[in-house]
Amino acid sequence: MVSVLQKDFEFYLGKQNEFVHKYPGRFLLIRDAKLVDNFETEIEAIRAGLKQFEPGTFLVQRCEPGTESYTQTFHSRVFGE
Tens of pLDDT, residues 59-81: 999 999 998 787 755 555 655 55
Question: Nearest-CA neighbor of 58 among 77, 41, 37, 81?
Answer: 37
Residues 63 and 27: beta-carbon distance below 8 Å: yes
Residues of the chain with pLDDT under 50: none
**Full-model pTM:** 0.83
Residue 1: predicted pLDDT: 54
Which segments of 23-73 does DSSP mark as H helices, in order? 42-52
Residue pair 63/19 in contact by the 8 Å Cβ criterion: yes
